[in-house]
Each structure stands twice: as structure tokens, then as C-alpha cells.
Amino acid sequence: MFVKHQISTNILSGTTATTINIPINLQYQLVDNGELIERVFVESEEQKAINPILDYDKVRFIPIYNTIIGVDSIIYNINFLDNNGVMMQPTYYSNIGFDDADIKYNKNYFKETYITLSFYDSDNPLTQNLVTEIDMFSHLSASDYYLTTTTTTIAGQPKPANTIPVSFVILNPLTNMTGYFEGYHIYDYKDEFSINNPPKSLYMKATYVNAKNGKSTKLMVENNQYPINELIYKQYTKYDLFRTTSGFYYNLDTTYSTNVSYSNSSNPNLMDLTINLYQIQSI
């Protein structure tokens, strides 16, 4: 393809040359920054706009004692104040408004009453983040039923409300065929745990919700009175989550608070875990 250019003769005025030399440069020159913008700006901004890949895979943590002994049952005992401000130990269901019929016929008042365990990453209420929650609803354990038939009792019938303590008995589903199992395991993100790394501590704060009277009661770990500024730190029970070559486990710190204890279980080579919780009382 040929292109004709007309050169004005005005540019020749005042010169004696009969020719004009026009140099030809074969090296190209960018006339804009399109490629640079595409490579440096557009591609980098596209990567920023893409959400990072997050591993939401959760694993199940199993309770153990002293890092090696399994737990057969976890018992949460709930203790309330009477009308005179005295802690009732134990507290029976009749003490908090339930009657025999509520329990015998498993009325909604009873079965919709529950305790919430809220787990935080710190025991400092100013900086803590909620990690997970577990709701456990009212239920009866084996000891809450009559075992034999007499002139006044029937085997398998629930005992009176004034003899059944307010507690949540959580059983190991691998060692017990029947029972209540919700709350035995704790779930957390798998990628936060590596083998033999220091444990991750969670701090549990409990709230009891009574469907019979509509009251929600916050619980603490000691049967004692404290001023408000100290009371906020007496509401937590410490759970330590960790990973070993054999799996994911958790145990409770018996030195952090005094409401945790382990005892021998009826099942050989297993332990029972008891956690006592008390209605908050302040000075």
C-alpha cells in the first residue's frame, strides 16, 4: 500500500537544497499505556476483588481427662437463690416453678426450658469475640425415674418435681445407647489447630432460660457475692481445645475456676465431669 504525501513548497523557501531527507526509524514506540494498565492495574485489582479461599471445615472435639482418659458423662448442676437470697444446693425443679405434671407429661414448659453455653475467645468482655453457642434443653436422666414398682410408685415413672435436681446430664454417645447427647462435643474450625501446638482456650458463660416463668438467669462459677466490677470475671469456665496425632480433644481447666471436678465413672477406665453453676449474686 502506497501513501502519497504532499509537502508544501513553503518549507523550501529560503533554502538552496533541492532534496529533503526524511529519516525512517524502524523501532516502534508505544503511543499509550494500555498494556501496562492491563497488566499492572487491571489484573491486580481483579485479584483483590476475588474473595480469599477460606476453609470452613469444622471438626468435632471430644472431652477427655488428663489428655488420655475418656469422659463418660458431663453433668451441669444449676443452683438458684431462694426468696431469702440463700443458694439452694441442690435446686429442685419445684423450687423454680415446675410441678409434677410438667415433668410427667413432658409439657412444653419443661421441654422448652434450656441452658445456653456461650463460648468466647477471651474472658475480657471488652475485647472478646463470640465463637460458638450450645443450647441444651431440659431432660430427665436415668436417676430421675423410679427403678422398681411399689405400692406408691411405678417403675419407669418420673419422680416428683421436688426430688429431681435442676441439672443437665450429657452422655457419651459411644458408650451409652440411650440418653441425651447434645453438648457432649464442641465444634471448631479445623485449620486453626495443628498437632502438638498450644491449646486454644475458650471461655464459657452460661444462661438459664425458664419457659415456665419466662425468666432468663445468668450464671456464675462460684457461690459467693462479688462487687459488679469483679463479678464479670466470675462467669467463665475455661475449655482448652487441642489436637494430637490421634484426633481433636478438649478438657476443662480445674485451676482456672473452682466449679469443675472429675470423678470415677461407673464405666471402667472413664471419668465423669461435673460443672457447678450458680445464679449470679452481687454485693
- The answer to whether position 3 is within a domain reads no
- The answer to whether position 236 is within a domain reads yes
Give yes or no: residues 90 and 150 share one domain: yes
Q: In whole angstroms, how large is the CA radius of gyration of the chain? A: 36
- The answer to whether position 54 is within a domain reads no
- pLDDT band for position 15 (cuts 50, 70, 90): low
Q: Which three cell numbers stand for residue 265?
A: 465413672
Give yes or no: residues 183 and 108 share one domain: yes
Please, are residues 240 and 184 in contact by the beta-carbon 8 Å criterion?
A: no
Separation between Cα atoms, residue 251 and residue 188, nearest integer Å: 14
Q: Which residue has the cell 409434677?
A: 100
Give yes or no: residues 120 and 259 share one domain: yes
Give yes or no: residues 45 and 155 share one domain: no
Give yes or no: residues 130 and 74 share one domain: yes
Give yes or no: residues 30 and 123 share one domain: no
Antiparallel, parallel or unpaired: β 260-264 and 270-279: antiparallel
Provide the residue range defining the domain that includes 129.
59-279
Examine the pLDDT at 20 and tell me if it is beyond 70. no
Least confident of 226-230, 253-257, 259-263, 269-273: 226-230
Give yes or no: residues 183 and 217 share one domain: yes
Query: What is the dihedral sign for C-alpha 177, 190, 58, 66?
Result: positive
- pLDDT band for position 116 (cuts 50, 70, 90): very high
- The answer to whether position 1 is within a domain reads no
Separation between Cα atoms, residue 103 and residue 267, nearest integer Å: 28
3-class secondary structure, 85: coil
- The answer to whether position 69 is within a domain reads yes
Give the residue-averaged pLDDT of 218-234. 90
Q: Give the residue from 86, 118, 80, 84 showing the smallest Cα distance to 98.
A: 80
Give yes or no: residues 137 and 229 share one domain: yes
Give yes or no: residues 190 and 232 share one domain: yes
Question: How many separate domains does the chain show?
Answer: 2
DSSP 224-279: S-B-HHHHTTSS-EEEEEEEETTEEEEEE-TTT-TTEEEEE-SSTTEEEEEEEEEE
Give yes or no: residues 42 and 70 share one domain: no
pLDDT value of position 93: 98
Give yes or no: residues 132 and 258 share one domain: yes
pLDDT value of position 29: 60
Global pTM? 0.80
Examine the pLDDT at 208 and tell me if it is beyond 90. yes
- The answer to whether position 4 is within a domain reads no
Give yes or no: residues 182 and 86 share one domain: yes
Separation between Cα atoms, residue 86 and residue 225, nearest integer Å: 11
